[in-house]
Amino acid sequence: MPDAKRRSVQGPTGAGRAHTQVGLEGAVLPCDAAAMTKRIGLSGGIGSGKSTVTKILEELGATTVDADAIVHELQAPGSPLLASIAETFGDSVIRTDGSLDRVALGNIVFQDSAARGRLGALMHPPVIAEMVARAERAVEQGAPAVVLDIPLFFEGQKAGTGTASAMEYDATVLVWVPKAVQIERTVLRDGCSPEEAERRVAAQMPIDEKRDLATHVVDNSGDVESTRSQVEKLWREWTQPETSR
């Protein structure tokens, strides 16, 4: 499959089909079983508002596979994965009720690239396997589009790791806002200082660098209706290509 070139939502249509792909642990996404299903990789940056875009896509009929939701499931109290996290990072990241203290863990990994690497080594294999399995089920059920919502998709695409490399995609979407908006929204959402928000943003690939890797860019810096209009245009392109030209 040739590398897709970035297009704005006003750009030309016609993304190529993905071929049957063997994913992690031999999972196969059977393209011939549901040839019309579009496989979309969705990402953004901290504070870019991916959840707004995924909600709109779900309303339009997409099946979404949320990496963060799967992470939360796998990190449930009493799970083997949570025990491994505690062993790696210490009991300070576990609350008294046995759940993961995400703030404490975040304070460690956002300031230490080596710690992020250790966490990734624990998390990636089970998360990738579950995401591929759920995407496969959506394809087999004939969903018009399956959207994999992956926070670090473009980092994985560039490095050839993670779910970004475990299957092929018909298109990728970046939910974009300016860096200043990322910081402002992170402060409001997480209640952290602007300095801490900036450190968290800096721990990821710069969002403007991701623009060059995405097939489509949705500008989410305006109001919801502006975002909805862009997403609806993409949906028509994916599901009704003959009428979206």
The larger pLDDT score, comparing residue 26 to residue 213, is at 213
Domain range for residue 49? Answer: 7-239
- Per-residue pLDDT, averaged over 68-79, amounts to 95
Whether 211 is in a domain gets the answer yes
How many CB atoms sit inside 10 A of residue 30's CB? 13
Report the predicted TM-score, pTM, of the whole model to 2 decimal places. 0.79
Whether 244 is in a domain gets the answer no
The phi-psi region of residue 4 (left if phi > 0; otherwise alpha if psi is between -120 and 50; otherwise beta) is beta
Residue with tokens 């979407």: 173
Q: What is the pLDDT of residues 121-148, one digit of tens each?
A: 999 999 999 999 999 999 999 999 999 9
- In the chain, the percentage of residues whose pLDDT exceeds 90 is 74
Q: What is the pLDDT of residues 34-71, one digit of tens each?
A: 568 999 999 999 999 999 999 999 999 999 999 999 99
- Per-residue pLDDT, averaged over 105-119, amounts to 91
Say which CATH number the domain at 158 has: 3.40.50.300
Tell me what pLDDT residue 245 has. Answer: 55
Whether 245 is in a domain gets the answer no
Tell me what pLDDT residue 110 has. Answer: 85
Whether 24 is in a domain gets the answer yes
Whether 16 is in a domain gets the answer yes
Whether 47 is in a domain gets the answer yes
Whether 98 is in a domain gets the answer yes
* Number of domains forming the structure of the chain: 1
Q: How many residues does the chain have?
A: 245
User: How buried is residue 54: exposed, middle or buried, by Cβ count under 10 Å (0-12/13-18/19+)?
Assistant: buried
Q: Which residues of 141-163 are buried (b: 16+ CB within 10 A; e: fewer)?
A: eebbbbbbbbbbbbbbbeeeebb
Q: Is the pLDDT of residue 192 over 60?
A: yes
- Per-residue pLDDT, averaged over 80-104, amounts to 96
